[in-house]
Amino acid sequence: MLQDIEPYLACPHCAQALTRHERSLRCPAGHSFDLAKQGYVSLLAGDAHTGTGDTAEMVAARADFLAAGHYRPIADALAEAASAAPAAPAAPAVAPGGLVADLGAGTGHYLAHVLDALPGRVGAALDISKYALRRAAKAHSRIGAVVCDAWRPLPLRDASADLMLNVFAPRNGPEIRRVLRPGGTLLLVSPTARHLRELVAALGLLSVDEDKQRRIDEKLGPHLTPVEQREVEFTLRLAPQDVRTVVGMGPSAWHTDPDRLAAALAGLPDPVEVTASVTVAGYRRP
């Protein structure tokens, strides 16, 4: 619930602590943010916009695909890595327990899976899509959902998170470092060049370049220390509707013509075997 993460939140305008006043959160400087009836709060700065966020259709497709269990091995690998991550050294706590912050949380699917493996923690689902956060707010009893922009200062207090997640999402290295406690861990999931390769070739989807992981490491290098990396690869057997859903939930949804997609789908076997391939990488704040 949102109240579980309120002690960790910071005003996006002045970075001061936020406290609840009836149906809003306020800081000592007087900035106020209304709580949405769907259970999330928007902590976007006034000049920010949500045009880059996932649409309602994209979010619905992702929810259906993940609920069917197609990416369960990824969720399991992430939960396993989270359970194995060393606890951050003792630091002045802003609240009891510990915080898991998911940057680009979407529907909260992966964060909920990690919280099941870490019963003492609470989770902050951070995303720019209000459609996604309506679902994230209900994905787990210990999730609080916050609308924010990954490329701006995150509305979390300094050194407030023991663990951060980033799954198929934007990565803001300086802010991740600021929010993590010293010794805290970032778990990052990114696609390899083999991810969905059969669909990329057959449907003309966006591809992943071979140097993606190297580029991620280089961008995070000034802020975090890489500590571990493993690949998770498995085969999906997808019906035509599953293929439509996986296309509709990702970045290719912005670039795929529906008529051309329908024609290409007609040429695929039913079911079609598709490779799922990701890297699960761990980084630590020095």
What is the distance between the alpha carbons of residues 149 and 131, in angstroms, rounded to a whole number? 14
Omega into 182 within 30° of 0, i.e. cis?
no
User: What sign results for the dihedral spanned by CA atoms 149, 169, 63, 264?
Assistant: positive
Say what the pLDDT of residue 139 is: 96
Q: Maximum Cα–Cα distance for the chain, whole Å?
A: 61
CB 78 within 8 Å of CB 114 = yes
- The CA distance from 153 to 174, in Å, is 9
The alpha carbon of 83 is separated from its chain's Cα centroid by a whole number of angstroms, namely 18
Q: Is 49 helix (H, G, I), strand (E, B) or coil?
A: coil
pLDDT in tens, the chain (286 residues): 888 999 999 999 999 999 998 899 999 999 999 999 999 999 998 666 666 678 899 899 999 999 999 999 999 999 999 999 887 765 544 555 699 999 999 999 999 999 999 998 999 999 999 999 999 999 999 999 999 999 999 999 999 999 999 999 999 999 999 999 999 999 999 999 999 999 888 887 778 888 889 999 999 999 999 999 999 999 999 998 999 898 888 776 666 667 777 777 777 888 999 999 999 999 999 9
CATH of domain 2-284: 3.40.50.150
- Tell me the CA distances in angstroms from 22 to 12, 32, 46, 86, 130, one per residue in order: 20, 11, 22, 38, 21
The helix, strand and coil proportions of the chain, stated in percent and rounded to the nearest 5, come to 30, 30, 40
Task: Return d(Cα 78, Cα 76) in angstroms, integer.
Answer: 5
Between CA 182 and CA 111 the distance in angstroms is 21
What sign does the dihedral 123-126-130-132 (CA atoms) show?
negative
Domain boundaries, the chain: 2-284
For the whole model, what pTM was predicted?
A: 0.92
8 Å CB contact between 81 and 187? yes
Q: Residue 36 has what DSSP assignment? A: P
